[in-house]
Amino acid sequence: MNVAAVPEITYARSGDVHIAFQTWGSGPHFIGVPPFVQNIEMGWSDPSGLYPTFLRRIGAFATITQFDKRGTGLSDRDAHGAAGLEARVDDLRAVMDSADISRACIGGVAEGGPLAMLFAATYPDRVTGLVLGDTAARFVRADDYPVGLPAESWAAIVDEVVTHWATTESVLVPWWMPSMADDAGFRRWMTSYERASASPGAVRTMLEFIGAIDVRDVLTSIQCPTLVLHRSGDKVVPVEHGRFLAEHISGARFVELTGDDHMPWAGDADSYLDELENFLTGHRGTDIRHERVLATVLFTDIVGSTERAAAAGDALWRRQLDRHDDIVRSQLERFGGREVNTTGDGFLAVFDSPSRAVRAAVAIAAAVRECGIEIRSGLHTGEIELRGEDVAGLAVHVGARVSSYAEPSEVLVSGTVRDLVLGSEFHFRHRGSRHIRGIEGEWQLYAVA
């Protein structure tokens, strides 16, 4: 490997996790979110020269930053590789902060796509554009998503990939890069590359996590210019996934490319790069003012407040309320929430991270219970409208209704929140489906166990 040709590798801190990244090139900022595994150093030693050539060409028209996801490559390997999409969103933000990048176009390939979509919806002020390459909002079939793979097929793929991982029988090249399947030297190199990217156990964990990803609910919250690129013959993530994205992201442009390689740098990489260059240079310097953002809404409400006030008397109840308010505000500050308003015996707050919102709700419920107060809490993640310091929109309405169904000392979340924190430390108990007035269909609700 020509070490001099490899851009400097540095580390960002995302909480206690170290994320390896590198930046090179010139032009508008572009951040590449990798597929499920990668090693940013070893990729430059590809003996075919295809991958390094692909990366250098991007650097000719953009300032590109790429990173290894937690649990893979040069990033901390002991970090839980499937720690949830929102944790990886934090990792991406940490990389941007460490690299002093205030705004960038975010590109996501394969499993990197859902992360890029969630980041764009959550932090629209930091995203100039979104490029989605051969990716999907969901990879496994559902009753309302027939284009995904059947669950049993996905499980079989996971077993096959893990069984032959980092061996000469690895299925990654013939499945992901069929145009390179007959290149013996490349396949030998890929054996080392896989070993340098992740262990078999980590691969299983990540692939099982990927099988549970579903970010369809955030697609309508993406407001930035979006380019969806997909190869017509991709067998790993069929082109129907890309069409779905383009249909559900407002204003997205869909480009169907020829070829059957899943990785963009294999096969006809020039067509892919031509579209990427045109998209980046054509949107340089845009500055969209965003009035809507993706956020997690938290509602809290004291159980039996009227009865408690009558029993305690005005003076004692006022002191208890003040103590309650101090606890709630302390936990909101601790977990990065923003108080929107109070309702006398409850709070409305918003978070940019669903997991931090859940942690805050759990911490608030536990802390006020020690003071003899029980609250009910409800959370929902969706698009909110910013109206000065206030918030509005459907997500706020849903959050309020979720809270109304909660039991004393219970933290109740919508199915959207539960899906977004999947893979984190939380455990949920299904609390059934509920109808929310003014909204069609049934909403699945879950209690934090």
**Does 162 fall in a domain?**
yes
Which residue from 391, 149, 402 is spatially nearest to 294, judged by alpha carbons?
391
In a domain, 399, yes or no: yes
Residue 14, domain member (yes or no): yes
Alpha-carbon torsion 400, 444, 111, 205, what sign?
positive
Q: 364 in a domain, yes or no?
A: yes
Per the document, the length of the chain is 449
Residue 287 lies in a domain: no
| Selection from 104, 265, 120 nearest residue 179 by Cα | 265
Asked whether residue 349 falls in the same domain as residue 263, the answer is no
Same domain flag for 314 and 246: no
CB atoms near residue 302 (< 10 Å): 22
Helix, coil or strand: residue 278: helix
Q: Count structural domains, the chain.
A: 2
Per-residue pLDDT of the chain (449 residues; tens, 9 = 90+): 333 358 899 999 999 999 999 999 888 999 999 998 999 999 988 888 888 888 988 988 899 999 999 999 999 987 654 468 888 999 999 999 999 999 999 999 999 999 999 999 999 999 999 999 999 999 999 999 999 999 999 999 999 999 999 998 999 999 999 998 888 888 889 999 999 999 999 999 999 999 999 999 999 999 999 999 999 999 999 999 999 999 999 999 999 999 999 999 998 888 899 999 999 987 433 334 447 889 999 999 888 876 777 777 777 878 888 888 999 999 999 999 999 887 667 899 999 999 999 999 999 999 998 888 899 999 999 988 886 677 888 888 889 889 888 999 999 999 999 999 887 788 999 999 987 765 667 889 999 98
| Statement to judge: residues 151 and 230 lie in one domain | yes
Q: What CATH number is associated with residue 43?
A: 3.40.50.1820
Q: Which residue has the tokens 């496994």?
A: 140
Q: Which of 239, 256, 282 is the last residue of a domain?
A: 282
Residue 373: which residues within 8 A CB-CB, separation 6 or more? 302, 308, 320, 324
Q: Given this model, what pLDDT does residue 84 score?
A: 81
Indicate whether 332 and 273 sit together in one domain. no
**Under 8 Å between Cβ of 70 and 83:** yes
pTM of the model: 0.78
Report the C-alpha gap between 449 and 437 in whole angstroms.
26
Q: Are 171 and 194 in contact (CB under 8 A)?
A: no
CA neighbor of 69 nearest in space, from 38, 101, 108, 90: 38
Give 151's Cβ-side CA count (13 Å radius).
Answer: 5
* Residue 166 sits in the same domain as residue 312: no
Residues 330 and 272 in one domain: no
Tokens of 13: 């801190």
Query: Among 282, 309, 337, where does a domain finish?
Result: 282
The DSSP bridge pattern shows strands 338-342 and 226-231 to be unpaired
Query: Which pairing describes strands 411-414 and 375-387: parallel, antiparallel, or unpaired?
Result: parallel
Beta strand 292-302 with 346-351: parallel, antiparallel or unpaired?
antiparallel
Q: Has residue 133 been placed in a domain?
A: yes
Give the residue numbers spanning the domain of 246: 3-282
Residues 260 and 150 in one domain: yes
340 and 310 housed in the same domain: yes
Q: Are residues 222 and 320 in the same domain?
A: no
d(CA 424, CA 227): 30
Q: Is 222 helix (H, G, I), strand (E, B) or coil?
A: coil
Contacts of the segment 157-166: beta carbons below 8 A, 24+ positions apart: 157/207, 158/204, 158/207, 158/208, 158/211, 161/203, 161/207, 162/200, 162/203, 162/204, 162/207, 165/194, 165/200, 165/203, 166/191, 166/192, 166/194, 166/195, 166/200
Per-residue confidence (pLDDT) for residue 448, from 0 to 100: 94
Q: What is the CA radius of gyration of the chain?
A: 23
> Of 89, 99, 91, which is closest to residue 70 (Cα–Cα)?
91
Q: Please name which of 161, 357, 33 lies closest in space to residue 349, comparing C-alpha atoms.
A: 357
Alpha carbons 292 and 168: distance in angstroms, whole number: 49
CATH code of the domain covering residue 428? 3.30.70.1230
Do 219 and 257 belong together in one domain?
yes
CB of 291 within 8 A of CB of 280? Answer: no
Largest CA distance in the chain: 82
Give me the helix-helix angle, 314-334 and 354-369, nearest 10°. Answer: 150
Contacts of 280 (CB under 8 A, 6+ apart): 27, 28, 30, 61, 62, 105, 129
> Which residue, 221, 255, 282, sits at the end of a domain?
282
- Which of 100, 74, 89, 66 has the alpha carbon at shortest distance from 18? 74
CA distance to 42, 142, 166, 252, 435, per residue, from 211 (Å): 27, 11, 21, 25, 28
Tokens of 63: 């300032």
Specify whether 21 is located in the same domain as 116.
yes
Whether 303 and 247 share a structural domain? no
Residue 375 lies in a domain: yes
